[in-house]
Amino acid sequence: MRIARLVLLGLLLLITSCSTEVTPPNDRNYSVDDRISLGGPRTFRLGFSNIPRTMSLVDQESIWDDAAQFGEVVVVHRTISWSDFAEGEFSASEEYGDEIVALKQAASQRDLDLILVLDIFDSTGEEIAMLPAAFDGSDFSDDLISSALRNEVSFLARNLEPWAMIIGNEINSVFERNPDLYFSYIKLYENLYKRTKQINPAIIVAPSFAYEELLGSIPGTAQYGPRWSLIDPLINVMDTFAFSSFPSYVYPAARSIPANYYKQIVDNVELPISFLSTGFHVGEGMNEYQTTTATEQRRFLERLLQESQDLDAIVLTWLLARDSKIIPERYESLSSSGLFDGENAPRPGWAVWTRASRRPLAVPVFD
């Protein structure tokens, strides 16, 4: 659902500027080794996005520590800093460099694998995000724009060394709203992929897709058949099929989600699967017909964990560990998709998540 990207882009600068500076309380490092293993092995890493409950330092630390204590990965979104890399790969400002060092330290101190999502497009999917005013309306056929993006991607691959780099978030939304911009991005993306793999072959590289929009099933919009054909031109330059999925806006009752909802992926995409960002809101959605419950959230999570195992997924991240008070009121339904509620009390799904996190992690596909 595009609602996730609307929220993430609105919060991005605030979170990036603050939450990458946190350090573990008392220098304690959480990792999978701190847990008592219980149950059969799983093939997929678990984690959360770094969206805190509030912007207090305690809550900013908490989301990183939740990811470390109850998973292995953290998802961090960044917009592109066009001006920092206009002059070359190593022309970044000292402030930019400090942010990257802090981000790397925040992950490494907690023994977390970092999934870096580059939000190249704006919340509407119609334009490139955060471009200088002089370039408004431009696309990637502009050499200055394409070279700045290549330089930043190269810098991040070389210096941040994330476990995975998502170059372009929910790109099928761009196809739906500005096809010309989309195709100019696709022409550049192959170069970005190859450059990143040359610098560090171990980094998992891919764009991401908005799953409900890919299926053409978003309520209140024109309905269409699944657009699996969008993946075909990228199949040799993606290491994984990464996507966001928030089915509660389409199916408020978890049991009403079709049996092949995620299983159809393997019939159409021959790549490892990454549930990059998932969630299931509790309460009223965007309208009264999308009202759901904490029990339905638990049922969806139980199914999601089982399907992640059945589909040999390599990662599963939940958007919010805890309901967030920093999400704008107009997107209140998404803010209630945490596994802890607004009073910071665990919902039934939290026990499901913690049990899964205790299962020992099998040798990952890309290690």
Report d(CA 247, CA 343) in Å as an integer. 24
What tens digit of pLDDT does each residue of 273-305 get? Answer: 999 999 999 998 677 778 999 999 999 999 999
What does DSSP say about strands 164-167 and 113-119: parallel, antiparallel, or unpaired? parallel
For helices 348-358 and 294-310, angle between their N-to-C axes, nearest 10 degrees: 20
Query: Cα separation of 347 and 300, whole Å?
Result: 13
> Among 257, 318, 325, which Cα is nearest to 292's?
257
Residue 39 corresponds to which amino acid? Answer: G
Domain boundaries of the chain, sorted by first residue: 2-358
CATH 2.60.120.560 fits 2-358, yes or no: no
What strands, in cross-sheet order, belong to the sheet with 45-49?
A: 204-206, 164-167, 113-119, 73-79, 45-49, 315-318, 273-278, 241-245, 208-210
DSSP state of 49: E
- Within a 10 A sphere around the Cβ of 271, how many other Cβ atoms? 17
Strand partners, 283: 292
Please state whether 44 falls in left (phi above 0), alpha (psi between -120 and 50) or beta. Answer: beta
Residues with Cβ within 8 Å of 262's Cβ and at least 6 positions away in sequence, in order, are 245, 273, 307, 311
Q: Which two tokens stand for residue 317?
A: 């991240």
DSSP track, 105-124: HHHHTTTPEEEEEEE-B-TT
Give Rg (Cα) of the chain.
19
Would you say the C-alpha torsion 8, 12, 15, 20 has a positive or negative sign? positive
Quote the pLDDT of residue 20. Answer: 46
What confidence tens digit (pLDDT) does each residue in 47-78 have? 999 999 999 999 999 999 999 999 999 999 99
Indicate the pTM of the whole model.
Answer: 0.91
The confidence score (pLDDT) of residue 94 equals 94
Question: Exposure pattern of 134-157 as b/e (b: 16+ CB <10 Å)?
Answer: eeeebbbeeeebbbbbbbbbbbbb
**CA 334, CA 329: separation in Å to the nearest integer?**
10
Q: Which residues of the chain have pLDDT under 50?
A: 13-14, 16-33, 365-367
